[in-house]
Amino acid sequence: MRRITLLVAIIMALVVPQFINASNGVTYGPRASAFSIETNDDAQQVKLRIYKDGMGGKPIKTVNMKRDKGNPALWQTSIKGDLKGRFYTFDVKYNGKFRGECPGIWATAVGVNGRRGAIIDMTTTDPQGWNTDKRPVIAAKDLIIYEMHHRDFSIDASSGIEHKGKFLGLTEPRAIEHLKRLGVNAVHVLPSFDYASVDETRLGEPQYNWGYDPVNYNVPEGGYSTDPYRPEVRIREFKQMVQSLHRAGIKVILDVVYNHTWNIDGSNFQLSRPDYFYRKNADGSYSNGSGCGNETASEREGMRRFMIESVKYWISEYHIDGFRFDLMGVHDVETMNAIRQAVPQDIFIYGEGWSAGSCAYPGELAMKANINKMPGIAAFSDEMRDALRGPWDSNSKAAFLGGVKGNEESIKFGIVGAIQHPGVDYSKVNYSKAPYTLEPTQMIAYVSCHDDMCLVDRLKASVKDITADELIRLDLLAQTVVMTSQGVPFMLSGEEMLRDKKGVHNSFESPDSINHLDWGNLERYPQVMDYYTGLIAMRKAHPAFHMGSADMVRRNLEFLPTENCLVAYHINGRDVPGEQWGDIYVAFNAHKRARTIEVPKGEYTVVCRNIKCDPAGIATVKAKGGKVTIPAQSALIIHN
Ligand code: CA
């Protein structure tokens, strides 16, 4: 009998050359398509149904799949003929009962709303020129990340973008030129895999969601395509988006949400292998470390393999450049390291080094404090973020930006990229009493992201009687801290347009009127975009601001004496490879009045002062008596 199984495997390998492993779902071939699904060992029967459409109608064929002789958890079948354009579901029987139809966990193409797998020829989904598409070469230390939601970015009429809220929006010159002018070199798209909360059959109606409710992990979301009913369209359009951004020298980073599924009962995980993929508490209830009703078990062989293969698939099929792991702290350290090992070195990996509840896992989790056990993986720094804008558990408390003293060491912690540095007093850092990175590129520097209030709303909510002028000054001050950090800088899309969300801090399902970017603000507040552009250009042109090595930062970055609401440092640019500037002084003043710092006497070029930032220089200043002035609520950067 073994010999026959082997023979079948050899024939299938010849008929369908892409047949890689047993877990592929469907592998299309023009003469036959092979299907496979992994179950728990106690599965009793698996039915495969073939449909004409992605939803509705009766099956045109139903087949009982065959259990593998050597592996009771593997079920396979092959159907002769050209099935291109058809759809399929699996239905697994346990304890005498079929669990319900699903496309399995390995589907790479699906019908509308992702309920049925689609049988397509993936080779026909490549846009023209795709075979020459390459990931842009940008080192981790040189990345400047722009976090965006497809709908936020282009849905408003003011965007001038034709394909509003679609993958294709990012292929249009208006979008590409804006990103290039701003200078960011990596776009991090909020969940763009197939998620549940937007009904793809009603795309004519306004619907909004961030998308943290995964259904099919290895398929692009249909709501962002121009036709969710035709499975190849979303795939091709996603690739077109990647291709356009790559042509502009911009990397594409995917927000991945392996830590939980939309629901348990209806999830592809649960329908295929009941209770295998989820962690449970001692009392048998499902653990909820994600805060979304369940948490996956990355430490299990099947879940770990799923995550590794999924990430590798996005890299090989879609040329994805990096991954942002949602609630990375739900995953175990070993799995994150295995993912790091499994992908090319230039793939950038970062995540939220926390969970949203306690996890039912006794081993080491991929928390921020364990980042030093995960070389080549970065975590968001809430130390710097909250030291700037205020603590996460309040929307109205202010911090450094609001003139609250005591946040200086936390800001310094973020300036050096959370490394061990002799100039930081870790006992005074807000959340971490010790450095957690090995290299500064393991820390994401940011002041706002899709979660919580955007910067404008937070400033309005936390700084008493803030004026329009102060709002802009503090906004620019905050981003200067971020963009000069030795960590990897990250900004929320629209901050360059002084976006607001009308004070809504958890806008995951808010209407467009809350979430949309108003591109008209580019004309209303041109000084904001100009400053961001100058600031980012300065960072890119000057290695001193992104040395990329902990040793180099310790050697060349020295803090000036810290005062309340005043943080300043000196970089010795002469010892930074490729740096043109000599002595660089950077100072952040959150006071409502001007302050001074002491620097060696001499003449300096000012590149950043008040609400202007230009790497070519905006003025010169003579440090008479060794003092220079930093105007109120702003950053100063000078060099000689
Ligand atoms: Ca969907």
Strands 214-220 and 193-195, how do they pair? Answer: antiparallel
In a domain, 135, yes or no: no
Asked if residue 242 and residue 350 are part of one domain, the reply reads yes
CA–CA gap between residue 122 and residue 311 (Å, rounded): 18
In a domain, 272, yes or no: no
Distance 115 CA to ligand 1 centre (A): 9
Looking at residue 23, its pLDDT comes to: 52
Looking at residue 24, its pLDDT comes to: 72
Asked if residue 623 and residue 519 are part of one domain, the reply reads no
In a domain, 103, yes or no: yes
Distance 101 CA to ligand 1 centre (A): 17
In a domain, 173, yes or no: yes
In a domain, 426, yes or no: yes
- Angle at alpha carbon of residue 344, lines to 343 and 348, rounded to 5°: 85
Q: How many CB atoms lie within 10 A of CB 163?
A: 19
Structure tokens at 7: 């023979």
**Residue 402 is which amino acid?**
G
Give the range of the structural domain holding residue 106, as residue numbers without chain letter.
Answer: 2-125
**Residue 521 is which amino acid?**
N
pLDDT confidence band for 552 (50 / 70 / 90): very high
Distance 259 CA to ligand 1 centre (A): 18
Looking at residue 567, its pLDDT comes to: 98
Distance 256 CA to ligand 1 centre (A): 15
Tens of pLDDT, residues 569-612: 999 999 999 999 999 999 999 999 999 999 999 999 999 999 99
Asked if residue 436 and residue 319 are part of one domain, the reply reads yes
Please compute the mean of the pLDDT values over residues 153-181 and round it to a whole number: 98
In a domain, 17, yes or no: yes
Tens of pLDDT, residues 412-421: 999 999 999 9
**Percent of the chain at pLDDT above 90?**
96
Where among 518, 545, 572 does a domain terminate? 545
Looking at residue 332, its pLDDT comes to: 98
Alpha-carbon 519 to chain mean position:
23
How far is CA 508 from each of CA 59, 104, 213, 343, 351, rounded to the nearest angstrom?
37, 27, 11, 31, 19
Looking at residue 538, its pLDDT comes to: 98
CA dihedral (199, 204, 205, 208) in degrees, to 10, reads 60
Asked if residue 165 and residue 103 are part of one domain, the reply reads no
Asked if residue 381 and residue 441 are part of one domain, the reply reads yes
CA–CA gap between residue 551 and residue 489 (Å, rounded): 19
Distance 220 CA to ligand 1 centre (A): 8
Q: How many CB atoms lie within 10 A of CB 70?
A: 10
Distance 204 CA to ligand 1 centre (A): 15
Asked if residue 350 and residue 241 are part of one domain, the reply reads yes
Return the DSSP state at 128.
T
Strands 74-80 and 66-67, how do they pair? Answer: antiparallel
Asked if residue 147 and residue 120 are part of one domain, the reply reads no
pLDDT confidence band for 438 (50 / 70 / 90): very high
DSSP bridge pairs for 638: 585, 606
Please compute the mean of the pLDDT values over residues 605-631 and round it to a whole number: 96
Distance 466 CA to ligand 1 centre (A): 41
Please compute the mean of the pLDDT values over residues 246-273 and round it to a whole number: 97
Identify the CATH number of the domain in which residue 581 sits: 2.60.40.1180
Tens of pLDDT, residues 238-254: 999 999 999 999 999 99
Evaluate if residue 5 carries a pLDDT over 90: no
CA–CA gap between residue 418 and residue 215 (Å, rounded): 35
User: Which residue out of 326, 382, 383, 496 is catalytically annotated?
Assistant: 326
Where among 62, 90, 125 does a domain terminate? 125
Evaluate if residue 205 carries a pLDDT over 60: yes
Strands 45-51 and 61-64, how do they pair? Answer: antiparallel
In a domain, 286, yes or no: no
Contact 16, 28 (CB under 8 A): yes
Residue ranges near ligand 1 (ion) with Cβ within 5 Å: 194, 222
In a domain, 295, yes or no: no
| H helical segments located in 184-300 | 231-247, 268-272
Evaluate if residue 9 carries a pLDDT over 60: no
Please give the helix or strand (H or E) that residue 628 lies within, else none: strand 627-630
Q: What is the mean pLDDT of the chain?
A: 95
Asked if residue 173 and residue 29 are part of one domain, the reply reads no
Contacts of 163 (CB under 8 A, 6+ apart): 154, 169, 171, 172, 226
Asked if residue 240 and residue 150 are part of one domain, the reply reads yes
Identify the CATH number of the domain in which residue 488 sits: 3.20.20.80
Contacts of 526 (CB under 8 A, 6+ apart): none
How far is CA 631 from each of CA 401, 529, 566, rounded to the nearest angstrom?
14, 20, 11
CA–CA gap between residue 26 and residue 292 (Å, rounded): 30
Return the DSSP state at 561.
P
Asked if residue 111 and residue 153 are part of one domain, the reply reads no
Contacts of 316 (CB under 8 A, 6+ apart): none
Q: Is 326 a catalytic residue?
A: yes
Distance 200 CA to ligand 1 centre (A): 6
Coil vs helix vs strand at 533: helix
Our count of domains for the chain comes to: 3
What HEC string does 473-501 produce? HHHHHHHHHHHCCCCEEEEECCHHHCCCC
Asked if residue 353 and residue 470 are part of one domain, the reply reads yes
Please give the helix or strand (H or E) that residue 27 lies within, else none: strand 26-27
Asked if residue 568 and residue 479 are part of one domain, the reply reads no
Identify the CATH number of the domain in which residue 36 sits: 2.60.40.10
User: Which residue out of 352, 382, 452, 579 is catalytically annotated?
Assistant: 352
Structure tokens at 156: 């408003």
Where among 498, 515, 545 does a domain terminate? 545
